[in-house]
Structure 1
Amino acid sequence: MSRSWTYGGDEPVRVNKWLAQSGVCSRREAEGLIAGGLVTIDGALVEDVGRKILPGQTLTLDEAGQEALDTKLTVLIHKPVGIVSAQPEGDQVPAVRLLRRSNLFVEAEVYPNSDHRLAPLGRLDMDSRGLLILSEDGVLAKAVIGPDSELDKEYFVQVEGDITPEKIDLLRHGLELDGRELRPATVEEVMPGRLRFVLVEGRNRQIRRMCELVELEVVDLIRTRVGPIELADLPGGMWRPMTAAERAALLEASKPRAS
């Protein structure tokens, strides 16, 4: 089924920019749809990728174009320790190899195949486990790992070493990595030797390096949430498709907060 949207802005805007801002697709995906002859404005075919839509005009994406967007696959994996998020070296195993039917946690309408180009939306290092999102959805990628993303991520971390109020305060705010001050984080001790972290940034091995700076050694790290998406009861090594409702919630949560 085709879909239509009426532009309600006050000034003309490039079609690819507007579709990206509206969460329909990425700019690059919009350009591909236009080049494929799948987009019309007020019934007229859009042939120029630089075309602007005017206030009050209606853009229609035909059935084939909508089907192409609907088949953009996003999956949730409970990544085990020892699996890399992407770009394996040597005999390392990438998370995408877990996407077998035997590892599927629930029913799926679409199964990953060689045509899908799934990339991690926020990596999880090989020594860590938990929620990993793999997707070929450009809009979702921008929402989760784009430079303006404010989505928070939750981790539970088992550490060895003395946990003191002073160390907790430093973990919350007061540390630097690679010469740059870290953004404030939520850090609390939820039980002896176990910390809960909530971060809005994701530098390389950030939590492990933060703990090292306060003389704590991480012995287990699990990511349990990315924005509103929770790991919940997804077993280790298993995967499931992201639902349309989860995608919508993720996009909504990524929108800039009013100041």
Structure 2
Amino acid sequence: MHEASGQTRGLAKESPRLSKLVSQLAQCSRREADEWIENGWVSVDGVVVNRLGARVNPKAKIKIKDIASAHTSESVSIVFNKPRDLPGPPAEAGREAIAALIRADNRWSDDPTPLTFQASHLRGLAQAGKLEADEGGMLAFTQEGSVARRLSGGDSRLEKEYHVRVEGELAADGLDLLRHGLSLDNVKLPRAQVSWLSDQQMRFVLLAGKKGQIQRMCELVGLQVTDIKRVRIGSVSLGKLPPGQWRYLREDERF
């Protein structure tokens, strides 16, 4: 798809942004105008412009495809199953780092949501919480600031559930200590839900956690973690989502 770079060359800096003109012409929000531009639905003097921030001659002829008027702007949230040992993006990852994970070709084929993947879904998409390189499981990405704050805020009250494979021999009072009684860095840890899933796998449910917290907790009671996977954040579960794939948050799900 070609950008109308020829339309902006030599224009004064005060030439208006295309998104502003589209917003005025269609009486839509600037966010919607940006989405329409990014989706290739806007042309300037017959040439499609899909570059955000483009400035154009105020006398240029702007045309908007009919599909744009039927498009409803909405924020999206995404669940991604991070494979173990995949270096996840840093907490303040930019769009390029997130786009390397969230692509059209690795969307879960069984995603039940009716949404069609669009480039605009990556704009402003923020990672909410993170996993270490040797941890796998559920990562959340969202365009909604309120959701990002609920997931990443220091006072987050959303449960995070992990399935943890361990080796070693648990101390006699180890399970009780894991639930409540351990301290890290001279700070007593809040209560946690901890139980056995099988002979070598445990379930941890935490409200908040320090870096490497579960691994360090286990070491204090004689166990070594060999694998850790986050399977739930709040009421949203990873379910059958395969590693390395993603899906949109369903309408009946809320973080």
TM-score, normalising length from structure 1?
0.63
Identify the residue that residue 222 of structure 1 maps to in structure 2: 229
Is 2:104 the counterpart of 1:139? no
How do 1:59-98 residues align onto structure 2 when only pairs under 5 Å count?
A: 64=29, 70-87=73-90, 96-98=99-101
Query: Are the equivalent residues in 2 in contact too, given 1:96–1:118 (CA < 8 A)?
Result: no
* Alpha-carbon contact 2:180-2:192 (below 8 Å) kept: yes
CA distance in 2, matches of 1:138, 1:123: 16
Q: Is 1:99 matched up with 2:102?
A: yes
SS at match of 1:155: strand
What percent identity do the matched residue pairs reach?
35
Pair 1:193 & 2:200 matched: yes
Q: Does 1:123 align with 2:126?
A: no
- The amino acid that maps onto 1:99 is I
Q: Secondary structure at the match of 2:173?
A: helix
User: 1 or 2, which has the higher strand percentage?
Assistant: 1
- Choose 1 or 2 for highest CA Rg: 2
Q: Which amino acid aligns with 1:74?
A: S
Q: What is the RMSD computed on CA atoms of the aligned residues?
A: 2.8
The one-letter amino acid of 1:126's match is: A
Q: CA 1:95 to 1:63, structure 2 compared with 1: closer, same or farther past 3 Å?
A: closer
Does residue 148 (structure 1) correspond to residue 113 (structure 2)? The answer is no
- Which residue of 140, 149, 162 corresponds with 2:169? 162
SS of equivalent residue, structure 1 residue 207: helix
Listed as ranges, the gaps of 5+ residues in structure 2 are: 1-19, 21-26, 36-71
Q: Give 1:111 shift.
A: 3.2
Deviates more, 1:193-202 or 1:158-167: 158-167
Q: What letter matches 1:78 in structure 2?
A: N
Verify the 8 A CA contact 1:108 1:240 in the aligned structure 2.
no
Deviation larger for 124-133 or 110-119 = 110-119
Q: Secondary structure at the match of 2:197?
A: strand
State the alpha-carbon separation in 2 of the partners of residues 150 and 65 from structure 1. 33
Letter in 1 for 2:159: D
Q: Relative to 1, partners in 2 of residues 1:128 and 1:108: Cα closer, same or farther, differing over 3 Å?
A: same
Q: Which of 164, 177, 202 is residue 184 of structure 2 equivalent to? A: 177
Q: Give structure 1 stretches of 5+ with no counterpart.
A: 1-35, 37-61, 251-259
CA contact under 8 A between 2:171 and 2:222: conserved in structure 1?
no
For 1:165 and 1:63, how far apart are their aligned partners in 2? 65
Partner deviation per Cα, 1:70-125 (whole Å, 9 max, x = no partner): 4433210000012233229xxxx966522121110126323356962333212111
Separation (CA, whole Å) in 2 of partners of 1:115 and 1:153: 25
1:255 equivalent in structure 2: none
**Pair 1:237 & 2:244 matched:** yes
Q: CA shift at 1:210, angstroms? A: 1.1
Per-residue Cα deviation, 1:21-69 (whole angstroms, up to 9, x for no partner): xxxxxxxxxxxxxxx9xxxxxxxxxxxxxxxxxxxxxxxxx96379589
Contact 1:86-1:119 at 8 Å conserved across structures:
no
**What is the TM-score of this pair, normalised by structure 2?**
0.64
1:194-242 Cα deviation digits (max 9, x unpaired): 1110111121121111112222111011111000000000001000111
